[in-house]
C-alpha cells in the first residue's frame, strides 16, 4: 500500500509540474461559442480553420510554403477545469468519463444502443496522467495496409470491437485496422471505412449506409467538414435512354451529388457537410435497385474518407470532383472504352470538376489543356449531344442553323447537354469557345470531324458538366420560349487527358 501511495504521489507531482510549464491562458478552452473564434486566433496563430476554412486551389510549392514554426494543433486536446487541473479528453482521467462512457462505445452497438460492454471501465482508471500524452486509444491516424487498402491505426482489441480486421502494423504495437461494412442498413463512424455490397441482393430493393459525423466521437479526432467517396468498384445496370433505373444517390451533404449508375470504377466524389463541431450530421448513401433490370451484376466497394475542417487537401466548395496532379484523366460517370451503341451518358448531371494549380520547374501553371483520351477498345472519347445534320462533328455555342427547312430557323446545340471550358482555346488557330458538345472536341464555329487540344488560362481551373433530363427531342412551346433540339443518339459522355502547363 505504501508503494502504491508513493507511486500516486509521484504521478500527481509530475502531472502538476507539466501543467506548470504550460500554464497560460491560450490553453484554456472557450467557455462560450462567442469566444471560440478569438481562441483559435490565439492558440493557432492563424485565423480559425474550424469555422471558416480557407481552401486554396493552389498546390504546395516553394512559393506558398507554410511557416514551419506554426504548430496548428498545439494544445488542441487540452482542457482544464475550474481548479486548474487537467481534464483532457485523451488523458486517462478524461478516459473514464468522456472517452469510454460517452465517446468511444456509445451509439455503436445495437439494438437501441443498449449494449455498452465497457461502460464501467472508466471507473477502474482513477489515475490522471500527463494530459500532453497522446493516448494510444485515440490516435486513429490513417494507414495503408500491405495490400493497398486504407485503414486507421488502433490497438488490436479496439480494432476488433469496431468490427475491423488487422492488416499490417503501425507504431507502438498498434495494427492497421481495416473497417469493412459488407451489408445494407449499417453505419460508419470510422475514417477510411469500406462499404461493400452484400453477397445476396434482390430486386426491387434498397441498400443504405449511414455515415455518422459527430465531434464527440473519439474516433473522429477533429471536426469533419467533407467526405470523399472513392469508388474502388461500382457496377449496376445501365441506364435506359440516359435515365438510371438502378440508382445511387446521396443525402445529407450541402452540395448536390447527381444520381449515377452503370460502371464507375475509379471515380470519386467530394461531399461538403456541415462542420461536425456544430452538431451531429448523418450522411446517407443509398442504392435503389429496380425490378426487371435483367441479369446485370450489382456490386460495389466504396471507400469513405472523413476529411477534417481546415485540411489543405479539402476540395474547394461546390467541387464534386477534385484533381491534385499536373496531369491525369477525367471521365464522366458511366463512361467506358467499349464499342456499343447504347446511351451511356447519364441524364440530369450538373457538377463541377476542379483542379488544384500545380508547380512545374519552380513556376506556377498558367494554363490547362485538354484532349480526348486514347481509345483502344472501340469506345468514343467525346460524345455529348447529337449535332444536327452531321453526327460525327463537333459543336459549340448554344444554337445552330436548322438543317431542316423552317418553320424553325435555329435549333439548340450545346444548350441542354454540354461541357463548359471557360475560354477554351485552340492554341493553333486561336479559336475560342465556352460550351462544347457533339462528337469531337473542337472550338471551330461550324463544327469539325476532328478533335483538337483545347486550353484555358482561366484560374482556378474548373470544368462544368451538365445534361438535361432526357435524351429525346426538345420541342418548342406555343410561346416559343423553349428552343427546340433534336433527339440524341447513343451519347456516351467524355474521357479527357488534362495537362497543366507553364506557357
The pLDDT, as a whole number, for residue 388 is 78
CB within 8 Å of 235: residues ≥ 6 apart:
262, 263, 264, 265, 296, 297, 298, 299, 300
Give the model's confidence band at 83: pLDDT under 50 very low, under 70 low, under 90 confident, else very high. very low
**pLDDT tops 80 at residue 108:** no
Burial tier of 391 (Cβ tally within 10 Å: 0-12, 13-18, 19+): middle
Could you report the per-residue pLDDT of 247-281, keeping only the tens digit for each? 999 999 999 999 999 999 999 999 999 999 999 99
Q: How far apart are CA 459 and CA 356, in angstroms?
A: 10
Cell of 268: 470519386
Q: Provide the phi-psi class of 57: left if phi over 0, else alpha when psi is between -120 and 50, else beta.
A: alpha
Could you report the per-residue pLDDT of 171-206, keeping only the tens digit for each? 888 999 999 999 999 999 999 999 999 988 888 999
Q: What is the CA radius of gyration of the chain?
A: 27
Q: Give the chain's domains with CATH numbers.
A: 2-132 (no CATH), 182-309 (2.60.120.290), 359-501 (no CATH)
Closest to 183 in 3D by CA, of 165, 195, 166, 194 = 195
Closest to 402 in 3D by CA, of 383, 389, 416 = 389
Give the model's confidence band at 63: pLDDT under 50 very low, under 70 low, under 90 confident, else very high. low
Strand, helix or coil for residue 4 = helix
φ/ψ (deg, to 5) at 102: -120, -15
The pLDDT, as a whole number, for residue 134 is 42
Secondary structure of 143-156 in HEC code, one letter for each residue: EECCCCCEEEEECH
Strand, helix or coil for residue 403 = coil
Where is average pLDDT lowest: 73-77, 91-95, 117-121?
A: 91-95
- Residue for grid cell 504546395: 60
Cell of 285: 448513401
Do 153 and 141 contact (CB within 8 A), yes or no? yes
Q: How far apart are CA 151 and CA 154, in angstroms?
A: 9
Could you report the per-residue pLDDT of 437-485, keeping only the tens digit for each? 999 999 999 899 999 999 999 999 999 999 999 999 998 887 667 889 9
pTM comes to 0.75
**pLDDT tops 80 at residue 295:** no
Pairing between β-strand 299-308 and β-strand 454-456 as defined by DSSP bridges: unpaired
The pLDDT, as a whole number, for residue 480 is 66
Amino acid at each position: 500500500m505504501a508503494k502504491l501511495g508513493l507511486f500516486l504521489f509521484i504521478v500527481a507531482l509530475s502531472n502538476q509540474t507539466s501543467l506548470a510549464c504550460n500554464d497560460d491562458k491560450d490553453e484554456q478552452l472557450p467557455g462560450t461559442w462567442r469566444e471560440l473564434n478569438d481562441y483559435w486566433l490565439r492558440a493557432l496563430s492563424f485565423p480559425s480553420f474550424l469555422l471558416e476554412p480557407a481552401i486554396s486551389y493552389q498546390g504546395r510549392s516553394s512559393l506558398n510554403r507554410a511557416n514551419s514554426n506554426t504548430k496548428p494543433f498545439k494544445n488542441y486536446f487540452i482542457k482544464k477545469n475550474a481548479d486548474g487541473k487537467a481534464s483532457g479528453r485523451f488523458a486517462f482521467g478524461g478516459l473514464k468519463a468522456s472517452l469510454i462512457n460517452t465517446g468511444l462505445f456509445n451509439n455503436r452497438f445495437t439494438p437501441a444502443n443498449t449494449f455498452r460492454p465497457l461502460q464501467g471501465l472508466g471507473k477502474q482508471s482513477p489515475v490522471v496522467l500527463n494530459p500532453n500524452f497522446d493516448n494510444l486509444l485515440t490516435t486513429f491516424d490513417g494507414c495503408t495496409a500491405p495490400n493497398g487498402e486504407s485503414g486507421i491505426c488502433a490497438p488490436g482489441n479496439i480494432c476488433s470491437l469496431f468490427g475491423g480486421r488487422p492488416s499490417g502494423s503501425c507504431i507502438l504495437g498498434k495494427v492497421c485496422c481495416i473497417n469493412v461494412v459488407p451489408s445494407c442498413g449499417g453505419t460508419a463512424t470510422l475514417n477510411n471505412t469500406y462499404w461493400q455490397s452484400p453477397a445476396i441482393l434482390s430486386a426491387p430493393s434498397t441498400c443504405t449506409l449511414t455515415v455518422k459525423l459527430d465531434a464527440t466521437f473519439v474516433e473522429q479526432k477533429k471536426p469533419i467538414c467533407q467526405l470523399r467517396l472513392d469508388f474502388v468498384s461500382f457496377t449496376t445496370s445501365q441506364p435506359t435512354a440516359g435515365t438510371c433505373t438502378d440508382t445511387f444517390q446521396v443525402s445529407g451533404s450541402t452540395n448536390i451529388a447527381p444520381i449515377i449508375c452503370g460502371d464507375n470504377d475509379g471515380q470519386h466524389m467530394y461531399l461538403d457537410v456541415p462542420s461536425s463541431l456544430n452538431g451531429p450530421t448523418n450522411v446517407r448513401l443509398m442504392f435503389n435497385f429496380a425490378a426487371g433490370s435483367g441479369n446485370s451484376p450489382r456490386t460495389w466497394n466504396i471507400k469513405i474518407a472523413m476529411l477534417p475542417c481546415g485540411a489543405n487537401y479539402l476540395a474547394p466548395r461546390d467541387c464534386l470532383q477534385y484533381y491534385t496532379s499536373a496531369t491525369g484523366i477525367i471521365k464522366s460517370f458511366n463512361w467506358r472504352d467499349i464499342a456499343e451503341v447504347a446511351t451511356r451518358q447519364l441524364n440530369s448531371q450538373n457538377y463541377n470538376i476542379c483542379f488544384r494549380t500545380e508547380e512545374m520547374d519552380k513556376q506556377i501553371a498558367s494554363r490547362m489543356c485538354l484532349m480526348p483520351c486514347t481509345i483502344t477498345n472501340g469506345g468514343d472519347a467525346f460524345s455529348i449531344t447529337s449535332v444536327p445534320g452531321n453526327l460525327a462533328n463537333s459543336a459549340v455555342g448554344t444554337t445552330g442553323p436548322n438543317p431542316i427547312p423552317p418553320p424553325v430557323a435555329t435549333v439548340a446545340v450545346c444548350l441542354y447537354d454540354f461541357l463548359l471550358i471557360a475560354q477554351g482555346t485552340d492554341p493553333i488557330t486561336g479559336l475560342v469557345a465556352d460550351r462544347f458538345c457533339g462528337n469531337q472536341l473542337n472550338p471551330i464555329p461550324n463544327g469539325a470531324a476532328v478533335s483538337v487540344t483545347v486550353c484555358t488560362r482561366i484560374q482556378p481551373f474548373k470544368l462544368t458538366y451538365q445534361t438535361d433530363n432526357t435524351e429525346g427531342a426538345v420541342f418548342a412551346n406555343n410561346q416559343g420560349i423553349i428552343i427546340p433540339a433534336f433527339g440524341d443518339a447513343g451519347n456516351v459522355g467524355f474521357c479527357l487527358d488534362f495537362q497543366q502547363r507553364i506557357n
